Amino acid sequence: MSSKPRLFSGIQPSANSLQIGNYIGAIVQWKELQASHDAIFCIVDLHAITVQQDPTQLRENTRRTAAQYIAAGIDPAASTLFVQSHVPAHPELAWILNTITGFGEASRMTQFKDKSARQGADSTTVGLFAYPTLMAADILLYQAAVVPVGDDQRQHVELTRDLAGRFNSRFGDTFAIPEARIQRETARIYDLQEPTSKMSKSASSEAGVVWLLDEPTVTAKKIKSAVTDADNDVRFDPESKPGISNLLTIYSVLAGESIASLEAEFGSRGYGNFKTKLADVVVATFAPIRERTLELLADPAELDRVLAGNADRAAEIANRTLATVYDRIGLLHKA
């Protein structure tokens, strides 16, 4: 048993490439945390199907998501990187948690309210409604102490804490109570064409989204045509200069230079020069990740083997928790 605190997080395989916001907002942090934590990263395909997915695409996106995480530095030998549907304990515990979750409580989840309002009642499923209890099961099966997520997932982690506490007080101490870990500074990378909305895999237009698997020439072109204001002064001011401030954040994280030193270096030398340098930095970061991803994808059997081994490791922990849960609630043991 490792004495490091356990960490759990999940990523939906909802597109055929990650975007650089996922890298800056999630992967960079996960890479740092994987040394000091017993880290488990789950590709949550059962969550992805709470909105309609094409079956062929879903299978492909699941592999591609795994490959990109590995290529970007998540080490499947040091951390556990696995596919949710490979461990049946997830939906099994989710069902149990459904039976202790209030209908009103689940109805208050803002992600559900937003997504169901966008889709309309007719295409909103019971699966989407139960999304948060599946997420709670993900976390609680592993007795995770730390859950690094974006700000939008804070409410789901709160619900997870409530459910764990409720179960513990009704049936005896069973689950660790997890804590959300939300990174402030890089919590939001914005769309390059619409620098007031979050860069997202499901953005309406492609032009403002830099994909990890874009070809270097495409990446450079997107950076150079990013929307900026007219005054040509490279200065960090998210309120009145959202475009250039977003580019400064990206530069700063990827090059490991402070925003102040970038302002001093580029200040009044104009946007063109700054964007050209930034394009080089972005390409230098992602071209090797892209190449490594393509190499990993060229051998899907090996990738599947790594994911299977990791799923076995995950299942061992998850099944132990699930067995305790079944026992505590009084399900009859199979002879």
Q: Which residues are catalytic?
A: 115, 198, 201
Helices (H) and strands (E) in the chain, counts: 15, 5
CB-wise, 50 or 321, nearer to ligand ATP?
A: 50
* Minimum distance, C-beta of residue 297 to ligand ATP, in the bound complex (Å): 19
Q: Can you give the binding site for ligand LTN, defined by CB under 6 A?
A: 8-10, 12, 44, 47, 135, 138-139, 147, 149, 153
The residue assigned the tokens 């930034």 is: 278
* Minimum distance, C-beta of residue 8 to ligand LTN, in the bound complex (Å): 5
Q: Can you give the binding site for ligand ATP, defined by CB under 6 A?
A: 11-12, 14, 19, 21-22, 24-26, 149-150, 187-189, 198-202
CB-wise, 23 or 266, nearer to ligand LTN?
A: 23
Q: How far is CA 121 from CA 46, 115, 126, 128, 168, in A?
A: 21, 10, 11, 11, 35
CB-wise, 133 or 293, nearer to ligand LTN?
A: 133
CB-wise, 2 or 202, nearer to ligand ATP?
A: 202
Alpha-helical runs (H) found in 5-88:
20-22, 28-36, 45-48, 55-71
Q: Are 89 and 315 in contact (CB under 8 A)?
A: yes
- The site partner of 10 among ligand ATP, ligand LTN, none (C-beta below 5 to 8 Å per kind) is ligand LTN
Amino acid found at 257 = E
Could you write out the DSSP letters of every residue in 130-185? Answer: THHHHHHHHHHHTT-SEEE--GGGHHHHHHHHHHHHHHHHHH-S-----EEE--ST
- Separation CA 335–CA 332 (nearest Å): 9
* Minimum distance, C-beta of residue 313 to ligand ATP, in the bound complex (Å): 22
- Separation CA 43–CA 272 (nearest Å): 39
- The site partner of 201 among ligand ATP, ligand LTN, none (C-beta below 5 to 8 Å per kind) is ligand ATP
* Minimum distance, C-beta of residue 125 to ligand LTN, in the bound complex (Å): 16
- The site partner of 138 among ligand LTN, ligand ATP, none (C-beta below 5 to 8 Å per kind) is ligand LTN
- The site partner of 293 among ligand LTN, ligand ATP, none (C-beta below 5 to 8 Å per kind) is none
